Amino acid sequence: MNKAHCWCYIVVLLLLVTNYQAKAQETAAQATYDHRIIAVLPFKTRTAYFKPQSKDAVQALQEREAAEGLQLQEALYNAMTQDEEKLLVDVQDWQLTDSLLKAARVDFRNVNNLDAQSLCRLLKVDAVLTGELAELRVSRTYTTSTLIFAASKTKRMIIELYDGKTGDHIWNFEKELDVAGIFDTEKHNQYLEKRLLKAFIRKFPYTR
């Protein structure tokens, strides 16, 4: 066996070991926690901006971020429930989740910062999925009458699973997006559900 073949063999072996370890961790999570129904929470989104000129401008930005968080929540729910036969848990309807949160006067923008145990009791679920979309590197800026925005081509999505009984952080998924303005295109839902979130589904511990 020459050196090139030897290195190829080592690389393949390392990949197999890594995949095995990841699958073992997912199996361990399933065995440790008895989850039958989970809820997808509204996402937290963060937009880089500078020099807010008024309180109204800041409020408008917060409303925009909240709306984007709901879009991402719905997109993740839709992606997860498109093929329910592959799921090992039930997923609470996202509209019911939001209705219960509103009834309890929970601020969607801060929902990720709340105690997972309290949220699970409120929603009557066994675990919750939280999500965040943040801009990483500013590529350009543009100005409105009230704000100077930083438009980034690089975003990072983080989705995390928390246990309702213990509050333990069980599992997380991270992915960088090399895309600008995913909310500014009519095809953003298709992009999220068919490309990005499908990658999440493949790694989610509660899929067959």
pLDDT digits (tens, 9 = 90+) for 98-108: 999 999 999 98
- In this prediction, residue 19 has a pLDDT band, given cuts at 50, 70 and 90, of very low
Task: Find the CATH number of the domain harbouring 62.
Answer: 3.40.50.10610
The verdict on residue 155 lying in a domain is yes
Same domain membership, residue 53 and residue 9: no
Q: Rounded CA gap, 170 and 2, in Å? A: 43
Residue 99 lies in a domain: yes
Q: Does 169 reside within a domain? A: yes
pTM of the model: 0.75
Identify the domain containing residue 95 by its residue range. 35-203
Mean pLDDT computed over 115-136: 91
For 16, residues 6+ apart whose C-beta sits below 8 A from its C-beta are none
Q: Cβ contacts of residue 77 below 8 Å, gap of 6+? A: 40, 91, 93, 94
94 and 144, same domain (yes or no): yes
